[in-house]
Amino acid sequence: MGKPPNLYAFQSTDELAPSLRAYVLDAQNTAIDRHNVFRVGLSGGSLPKVLAKALLEQTNGDGKVHFDKWEIFFADERAVPLDHEDSNYRLVKEEIVDKIPAGQGKPTVYPIDVKYLDDVQEMADQYEQTLVSVFAARDSVKLPMFDLLLLGCGPDGHTCSLFPGSPLLREVDAWVLPISDSPKPPPKRITLSLPVASHGIKIGFVATGGGKKDIMKQIFDTEEGRQLPCGLINTFAQDRVSWFVDYPAIEGVSFPARRGSL
């Protein structure tokens, strides 16, 4: 039995943002020291807005975001054009990339190849090749290891586009998987596989709002919850996982949370 994940709880997203910033900057600085680049995998959904607050609104004089060293990948993506309202790329671009002040440098962003919107298997294979060219060609690794994965948690316990009960959760070889019948629209997506999503050097979940409290209770306090996609990442990655939540999201959760700043 290893060490449990870290659960950090804050009164509000305004209070959560400075600690999320400190956590991201720590991962960034370690990565830049190690290989002069920061490779981060991002979820869509509610995450980019909170991350924007952490990176762009909180400055606090406590370290610099070196956006020019960032390589941004998508933990999951919907098979839609890049300017579509459902696109995770669009969300990250509009919430974060477009708002980076001039002079701070811009990240390198790796979107899906929209040539394959009608063929999610091909899209997943192509995105996997992108990861191979960035991670494995340099290091010849079995699994790509992101410096940081920042993930969301859906109200059903899904993360990336790995949904509860999906046969995709049993995948052990592929790095990126296609979905053509997602229970949450839009149906066609690609997602990092569970082994890759569990393999980050650091894995940060952000879950806020009372709409998440039932699933948080399941994930942290019950055996069935530990079998949900978010629970499986907790089990596999243990204390490499840190959750950043607000008080409404953990109302009624028994698992011990550390309250206040990191």
Ligand X SMILES: O=C1O[C@H](COP(=O)(O)O)[C@@H](O)[C@H](O)[C@H]1O
Q: Which residues bind ligand X (CB under 6 A)?
A: 43-47, 76, 88, 152, 154, 161, 184
Smallest separation (angstroms) from ligand X to the CB of 138: 26
65-75 CB burial, b ≥16 within 10 A, e <16: bbbebbbbbbb
Give the shortest CB-186-to-ligand X separation in angstroms: 9
Q: Which is nearer to ligand X, 46 or 198 (CB)?
A: 46
Specify whether the CB–CB gap between 181 and 126 falls below 8 A.
no
Give helix 213-221 / helix 229-237 axis angle, nearest 10°.
Answer: 40
Q: What single letter denotes the amino acid at residue 25?
A: L
CB of 74 to ligand X, least distance (A): 8
3-class secondary-structure state, position 161: coil
161 or 218: CB nearest ligand X = 161
With respect to ligand X, which residue has the nearer C-beta, 65 or 192? 192
What residues contact 18, with CB distance under 8 A and at least 6 apart?
54, 58, 60, 62, 261
Residue with tokens 């839009």: 186
Choose between 69 and 250: whose C-beta lies nearer to ligand X: 250
Nearest-CB residue for ligand X: 45
Q: How far is the CB of 232 from ligand X (least distance, A)?
A: 15
Closest distance to ligand X from the beta carbon of 71 (Å):
18
Helix intervals (H) in the chain: 13-35, 47-52, 88-95, 120-131, 137-139, 194-197, 213-221, 223-226, 229-237
Taking the least distance from each CB to ligand X, the nearer of 50 and 100 is: 50
Question: Sign of dihedral through CA atoms 103, 44, 51, 68?
Answer: negative
What's the closest the beta carbon of residue 70 comes to ligand X, in angstroms? Answer: 18
Nearer to ligand X (CB atom), residue 27 or residue 162: 162
